[in-house]
Structure formats: C-alpha cells, structure tokens
Amino acid sequence: ETGVTQTPRHLVMGMTNKKSLKCEQHLGHNAMYWYKQSAKKPLELMFVYNFKEQTENNSVPSRFSPECPNSSHLFLHLHTLQPEDSALYLCASSPLAGGPQETQYFGPGTRLLVL
C-alpha cells in the first residue's frame, strides 16, 4: 500500500451526469496531483496542488474541475464528459511539488467509462 487511496475504483457515467472522484493521502504530504492515462498512452499530468493551491493546469478542459480542500484530500469533479474522456485517472502525492528528484506516491486509480 502506498498510503494513497482513491474512490471509486470504477465509474460508469453518461455524458450529462455529474460525478466526482476522490483521493486521500495518509502520508503527511503537501502536494497532490491528478494524472490521466488513456489507452496505449503515457500518464499525462492534469493538475498539481501545493499546500492546497493549484500550481499547474496542463490545459485541461473545464469539464474537469479539481478541488483541494486540504493537503490530504483531492477531488476531481466531472461534468458533461465525452466518451474520449474514458481513461484511468490516477492521483499522486509528494512531500512538496518542488523538486525533479521528488518521488510521487500513487493511488490505484479510478477506471472511468463515459457512455
């Protein structure tokens, strides 16, 4: 176990639904990340939060809305998604979002299917 949990593990939603993904880390870290992995593609960084403040948004469409109420919790709110948004969404945390040498600790991901 890496100390990072994600719920739900699987999610099926329609294009008009609103749903949220949840991530929680029990490591005392101050940085949290959302990644997306589409089929046959590398992990792509979506958002970075450092001390609850968003520090990176990798040109993610506004139908994905992150929220970081505290350093231990991270949400990804989903609204009017498209079928091409179907993917594995991974959360990660690290002590500080500052160094290229810093190890990130990943959750197991949420497998999302948009119909």
Partner 1 sequence: ILNVEQSPQSLHVQEGDSTNFTCSFPSSNFYALHWYRWETAKSPEALFVMTLNGDEKKKGRISATLNTKEGYSYLYIKGSQPEDSATYLCALGSARQLTFGSGTQLTVLP
Q: Is the CA virtual torsion 114, 55, 50, 33 positive or negative? A: positive
Min dist. Cβ of residue 84 to partner 1 (A): 18
**Is the CB of 49 or the CB of 64 nearer to partner 1?**
49
Min dist. Cβ of residue 80 to partner 1 (A): 28
**Is the CB of 15 or the CB of 54 nearer to partner 1?**
54
Min dist. Cβ of residue 21 to partner 1 (A): 15
Q: Which residues bind partner 1 (CB under 8 A)?
A: 1-2, 4, 40-43, 45, 48, 55-56, 90, 97-109
- From start to end of the chain, where are the E strands? 4-7, 10-13, 18-25, 31-37, 44-50, 53-57, 64-70, 73-79, 87-94, 105-106, 110-114
**Is the CB of 70 or the CB of 103 nearer to partner 1?**
103
Burial of 79 (0-12, 13-18, 19+ CB in 10 A): middle
Min dist. Cβ of residue 53 to partner 1 (A): 12
